[in-house]
Amino acid sequence: MGIAVSPQIHPQVAEFIDKPRKMLINGQWVNAASGKTFPSYNPATGEVLAKVAEGDREDIDRAVRAAREAFDNGPWRRMTASERGRLIWKLSDLLEQHTEEFAYLESLDNGKALGIARAADVPLAVDLLRYMAGWATKIEGNTIPISVPYTPGAKYLAYTLREPVGVVGQIIPWNFPLLMAVWKLGPALATGCTVVLKPAEQTPLSALRLGELIMEAGFPDGVVNIVPGYGETAGAALAAHSDVDKVAFTGSTEVGKLIVHAAAGNLKKVSLELGGKSPNVVFKDADLDTAIPGSASAIFFNHGQCCCAGSRLYIEKSVFDKVVDGVADEAKKIKVGSGLEPDTQMGPLVSEEQLQRVCGYLEAGLSEGAKAVVGGHKAKDRGYFVEPTVLIDTRENMKVVKEEIFGPVVTAMPFTDPEEIIPRANDSTYGLAAAVWTRDISKAHRMAEQLRAGTVWINCYNIFDAALPFGGYKQSGWGREMGHDVLNLYTQTKAVCTKLG
């Protein structure tokens, strides 16, 4: 365990990963019922980083029972909205105080650059918790004037209550391990739900450390339960569990469909945040000094392991060469290395499996006739590194253009007629995000209206805020996370109708 870690490691992180990590059920840190553990790897070296209790059906069952009891009979339901909000705020303060520790954990477990985890992942998680803490006291119903034509003369008082949906199963991916945990936990806690969270097998550590802070903040036992384990076992058991009222999932579209099937047994509510193949459109009238680095960061941020990565780059023909060369130059400048090295800008991919997937796409693209202007291969002898890659000479029917690669690989394609670009940009089973770079405000907003995507960025990319809803059109998902939209995913409306005497 400690073996995979370099000497500069944060001391509290070294201590945390030194012992096998347990799961959080009903306020207690416990071993798996089976006694089994599984390894989490350091993707910069391929070595085992930590051992983690391996949750399975029985553990999920125990965790769901704890969440059910906490929801039905625990102190959580009797707390005021203000008390709930203050607990969430307290958690945000604790997380902020431990920023450095979480940045190290994220970098070690996921591979991302320490500086990015410190500047983006942790502060975004803190800010989301604060935003959600504020919502706890603002979840309101309505009073509704009703007429009821078949009871003439009668008078009614009718109103709605927004109530928590109940016990929520949350299944999250490995690309932003802490942030995805918080995107899910924040609104569930603000609305008064109870939770069983299953982190990704590749990156369970930051969610488990967050569990310690959740207990330290003073959330009652059973409100948040965290069960690490594999998707096919723990994840599937959670999605299918008959006592779970809702499942919230982020990950691949393929597994999203399995979740929908698993949820059918008790018709639990489902929200999904799935994959993407987002178009990024650069017009010749764009400010290329910002469009070029912006388009590079659209795909290379987080090593392309973003569901909203700008992976299809469409460039108006007269500026095609200039933009491609510019993005390729940006790619060449990216310092690829271990996340803990201070000058690293891009770390390794998260896992051996992900490395094989991305390299498989590169081989498929190159063998079908695509050309790599920069990159195109695995990097370094050890660890799961890939070169930032720009592919040209691609056609719309190639796998590298159609399918989500989830790595630092962009396909650049020219267009001549601005009218042609909308159908091409929308020609995808996905619809998560899109971007337009232009100085023409009218064109930008006309495009924004016509693009079938949950987020459209104009002259920017990868701008996230706790107040801005995020989610997918088409096969990119169901529902919106963040913003006030997310409250709909964790509440249900009760209509109350009183006949006045």
**Shortest approach of ligand NAP to residue 203 CB, angstroms?**
8
Q: How far is the CB of 172 from ligand NAP (least distance, A)?
A: 6
Query: Residue 425's Cα: distance from chain center in Å?
Result: 23
Out of 54, 201, 273, 404, pick the active-site residue: 273
Burial environment of residue 492 by CB neighbours within 10 A (0 to 12, 13 to 18, 19 or more): middle
Q: Which residues of 145-180 are buried (b: 16+ CB within 10 A; e: fewer)?
A: eeeeeeeeeeeeeeeeebbbbbbbbbbbbbbbbbbb
What residue number has its CB nearest to ligand NAP?
A: 231
How far CA 176 is from CA of 69, 78, 112, 385, 445, in Å, comes to: 30, 33, 9, 18, 30
Inter-residue contact 291 to 323 (CB < 8 Å): yes
Asked if 304 contacts 408 with a C-beta cutoff of 8 angstroms, the reply is yes
Taking every pair of C-alpha atoms in the chain, what is the biggest distance, in angstroms?
83
**Catalytic annotation on 273?**
yes
Nearer Cβ to ligand NAP (231/279): 231
Closest distance of CB 117 from ligand NAP, Å: 17
CA dihedral over 434, 440, 445, 451, signed as positive or negative: negative
Give the binding site for ligand NAP (CB under 6 A): 171-175, 198, 200-202, 230-232, 235-236, 239, 250-252, 255, 258-259, 273-275, 307, 357, 404, 406
Strand partners of residue 52: 21, 38
Provide the 10 A C-beta neighbour count for residue 377: 13
The string of DSSP letters for 423-446 reads: HHHH-SSEESEEEEE-S-HHHHHH
Nearer Cβ to ligand NAP (171/195):
171
Judge residue 187's burial from the number of C-beta atoms within 10 Å of its C-beta, 0-12 exposed, 13-18 middle, 19 or more buried: buried
Cα 202 to Cα 230: distance, rounded to the nearest angstrom: 9
Q: Which of 64, 327, 79 is nearest to 190 (CA)?
A: 79
If the CB atoms of residues 224 and 319 are measured against ligand NAP, the closer one turns out to be 224
Shortest distance, position 157 Cβ to ligand NAP, whole Å: 44
Please indicate whether residue 307 is annotated as part of the active site: yes
Which of 362, 276, 264, 282 has its CA nearest to residue 322? 282
Chain centre distance of CA 252: 11
Question: Which of 291/307 has CB closer to ligand NAP?
Answer: 307
Q: Which of 193, 307, 308, 359 is catalytic?
A: 307
CA distances from 494 to 76, 142, 143, 207, 497 (A): 20, 10, 12, 33, 10
> Which residue's CB is nearer to ligand NAP, number 33 or number 432?
432
* Smallest separation, CB 145 to ligand NAP (Å): 43
Q: Which two tokens stand for residue 294?
A: 């912006």
Nearer to ligand NAP, 88 or 350 (CB): 350
Q: How far is the CB of 201 from ligand NAP (least distance, A)?
A: 3
- Dist CA 64 CA 177 (whole Å): 22
The rounded distance, in Å, linking the Cα atoms of 203 and 183 is 16
Active site residues: 273, 307
